Chain A
Amino acid sequence: MPTSPRTTTDEFIKGLWRENPVFVQVLGMCPVLAVSNTAINALAMGLATAFVLIMSNIVVSSLRSFIPKEVRIATYILVIATFVTVVDYVIQAISLDLYKALGAFISLIVVNCLILGRAEAFASKNTVVRSTMDGLGMGIGFAFALFCLGAVREILGAGSIFGIQLFHDSFQDWVVMVLPSGGFFTLAGWLLLFNWLKQRKAKKEQMTALPLAEEPAQ
């Protein structure tokens, strides 16, 4: 809705919480589950994705009047693939350990539906500034969600966070948490929490909408 009085700040805020790409829109699940076994991996992946998202949003929105409608998806994918190649080489240069831990999932940022989704749904219709803010918000929201998952999985699965031991030696690691199935369970847990919050909010709104009908039961 280009006519709505939404400010650029709104575009930024919405990605963080209200339209959080992972918890609310459930987009870009593959990397979310695959590399969130430790907090540091998750954060690195989140930041890499955020960078690609912001850059592709900027490029797509500045080229939006030149890209023919028929080949737009192919163009977006090529733009995204270019930035992913850059990120791939940059991570390899910064930390080889991290590069090995993330493996093919850095390359797989290309097919992250979140990035293509934002390019198609937002950047192709909005100005560069708004698209940048949108990319920034969505990217940080994505990184935040990945960090939430990674932190939970590392704390429970290895008893540490960022490699720092948290518990006494007698703590029994929940091995299942660092295994693939742990990713599914943790994400399901977060989704349950979000669903519950949403329901509680809806109930509250219902109560305030009908204030005179009866005493709100506490």
Chain B
Amino acid sequence: MNQEPLWSIFVNASLVNNFVLAYFLGICPFLGVSSKLDTATRMGGAVTFVMLVSSICAFGIQLLLTAIDAPYLKLISFIAVIASTVQLVEMFIKKFSPALFRALGIFLPLITTNCAILGLALFQTNKGYGFLQCIVYALGAGVGFTLALVLIAGLREKLELAEVPDVTKGTAMALMLAGLLSVAFMGFGGLGG
């Protein structure tokens, strides 16, 4: 069992080892939906939510798999459970909160193949976190993801008005921005202890 204090897990997951800028997880939505601040915030919210749910599920599966001694099923069951959880959550939200569903709507199915979610589940089992630690880790990762997404979306919105050379338009520019942000986030190194 890992004895890492909760605050350190949170700071580590959200700032020091930011999922997007240090681990490169969830790059696809990061590049895909980061051109508008509004969508970026919603996407961040949806991902944080799914991360929380799937982190709890992954914790349960890990207990079960250890009990029946079948570690080779880890990957398959993780991805299957995450995919179906996302589907369930989607149906649940649609039924009980149509407003929230409209806000998150299109992003929910996309999140299934977001590597940040599966990555989170795998990392937390590798590190041997307890239940409470898992929840804090998922929260931290979600906050970090949202932060990175919102930062880059803000930058890209400003850049819409700027005159850049033709060759740098689109993904190349987003990647350079991400690189600069990643350098900036390196400044947080050592914070989490």
List residues of A whose CB falls within 8 A of some B CB: 26-27, 29-31, 33-34, 73-74, 77-78, 81-82, 84-85, 88-89, 104, 107-108, 110-113, 116, 176, 179-185, 187-188, 191-192, 195-196, 199
Contacts and interface: CB of A to CB of B under 8 A. Distances in A.
Given A30-B24, A108-B122, A191 B171 contact: yes
A180 B179 CA distance: 8
A78 B76 contact: yes
A104 B119 contact: yes
A188 B179 contact: yes
Interface string B178-192: 111011001000000
Contacts of B183: 176, 181
B91 interface: no
Closest 9 A/B residue pairs (Cβ)? A184-B179, A181-B182, A188-B175, A29-B27, A191-B172, A34-B24, A33-B24, A111-B115, A195-B167
Contact of A104 (B72, B76, B122, B167): B122
- Judged by DSSP, the binding face of A is helix
A133 to B, nearest CB: 25
- Judged by DSSP, the binding face of B is helix
B79 interface: yes
A187 B175 contact: yes
Interface of B: 21-28, 31, 72, 75-76, 79-80, 83-84, 112-115, 117-119, 122-123, 126, 166-173, 175-176, 178-180, 182-183, 186
B118 A116 contact: no
B118 A107 contact: yes
A188 B170 CA distance: 10
Contacts of A180: 21-24, 182, 186
